[in-house]
Structure 1
Amino acid sequence: MPKIVDPEERRREVVEAVFRVVARGGIRQATLQNVAVEAGLAVGSVRHYFASHPELLTAAAREMVRRVEARVQAQRERLRPEDDPREVVEEMAGQFLPLDAARADEVAVWLEFAVAARTDPTLGSIAAELHQGLRTVAGRLLDRLGVADPVATEHLAAVLDGLALNAALHPDRLGPDTLRAVLRLHLEQLPGV
């Protein structure tokens, strides 16, 4: 009797394999062969679910977006009216920083995709979506603090981008405690907060 495979579950398994390969060795290592080996599948099986390498990378980038959105949404659902707005903003903004192993992998994958999108038009729209998504969230967070300023929004997004980049490049020098402290300092320096 042939084994019944859930196609959505198999696609998720392959995308998870892409994440692991990219986080470990960069986007250049995310060949169909390497992803198939990581997923414990034959290359033909990977091709059955993803017609091309660009389609596979696009699916992985979209999954990264979905993960961050889900984490931010879960954080939003835990909010209570009596929560301190600055603490809420700090916690929500921290969802974009490598404060644990899962987020560190996501940041590494995000960086790989962002750099690849510079020259790969198939990833360009996702990179633009990520760029704009962070700015949208930053604007909403600042609204929560009573700061409605496009420059402050861009500044917060730039702080998060810079912290994420530097923590990914120098994790031994920029750990979670330092990331939180820098973010907290930035929020404390906002006018009117």
Structure 2
Amino acid sequence: MPKIVDPDERRRAVAEAVFRVVCRDGLEQASLRNVAAEAGLAIGSVRHYFAGHTELMVFAMREMSARLMARLTVHADRLLNPSAPLPPAERRETVVRMLAELLPLDDQRRTEVIVWLSFVAAARTRPELRAHADELYDGLLTLTTRILHGADRDGHLRADADIPTESRRLCALIDGLSLEAAFHPTRLDPSTTLTVLRTHLTTLTPFIH
């Protein structure tokens, strides 16, 4: 009896192969043929699930964005749950853990950061990828804005903080830390990366210890 293949599971497996090829060899090497070989599939099998290279890249970007946003949302739900407010110190540490999901602090997250930066760089000259490249940043900006509004309502945010500006500054900090830690890990190790993040949050929420 032929083995029944779950189409969604197969597409995700192919996307994982894309991630491995991009991280190891660069986005320019993520051809349908190379991705199929990485996934252990015939190229015809990949074409069965994806009409072409662009469709595969868009799916891989969406898969990566969804994976990251799902992890961010777990932490955000704890922070924004009005029926179970967190103590101030735990709130800040939860924000740290949430934002750390986007930092290359271990092998998995380092791979994710390198792959995502490769996608974003490609989107600069490939309009079909642009909206998908913006998706994660827009989601992060929305989350950080909501978190800062929550801290402001609870009286923990610095009185003169401009939330729209501080949200963008926090996103820029994450981008900068991700870039430097991913490509220059000896200059910015995980411990120092987290120290920089915690120090920045202390400037926003000086009343939480």
Normalising by the smaller structure, the TM-score range is over 0.9
Of residues 116, 126, 129 in structure 1, which corresponds to 2:122?
116
User: Which position in structure 1 is the counterpart of 2:74?
Assistant: 74
Kindly state the Cα deviation for residue 8 of structure 1 after the two structures are TM-superposed: 1.4
Of residues 142, 145, 150 in structure 2, which corresponds to 1:144?
150
For normalisation by structure 2, the TM-score amounts to 0.86
What does the per-residue CA deviation read over 1:87-133, in whole Å, with 9 as the maximum and x for residues that have no partner?
A: 22112111111122111111111100000000011110111212212
Q: How does 1:124-135 map to 2 (within 5 A)?
A: 124-135=130-141
Contact 1:86 1:145 in 2 (8 A): no
Distance (Å, rounded) in 2 between the aligned partners of 1:145 and 1:103: 27
Q: How many residues align?
A: 193
Kindly state the Cα deviation for residue 169 of structure 1 after the two structures are TM-superposed: 1.2
What does the per-residue CA deviation read over 1:139-182, in whole Å, with 9 as the maximum and x for residues that have no partner?
A: 12222322461111111010001000111110122121011000
User: Which position in structure 1 is the counterpart of 2:181?
Assistant: 167
Of residues 183, 188, 194 in structure 2, which corresponds to 1:180?
194
Kindly state the Cα deviation for residue 82 of structure 1 after the two structures are TM-superposed: 3.4
Unaligned runs of at least 5 residues, structure 2 = none
- The structure with the largest alpha-carbon Rg is 2
Kindly state the Cα deviation for residue 135 of structure 1 after the two structures are TM-superposed: 1.2
Contact 1:89 1:144 in 2 (8 A): no
User: Cα RMSD over matched residues?
Assistant: 1.7
Change (3 A) 1:139 1:76: closer
Distance (Å, rounded) in 2 between the aligned partners of 1:140 and 1:184: 18
Kindly state the Cα deviation for residue 184 of structure 1 after the two structures are TM-superposed: 0.7
Unaligned runs of at least 5 residues, structure 1 = none
Q: Secondary structure at the match of 1:168?
A: helix
Aligned sequence identity (%): 53
User: Which position in structure 1 is the counterpart of 2:34?
Assistant: 34
Contact 1:93 1:138 in 2 (8 A): no
Q: Secondary structure at the match of 1:145?
A: helix
Distance (Å, rounded) in 1 between the aligned partners of 2:193 and 2:150: 21
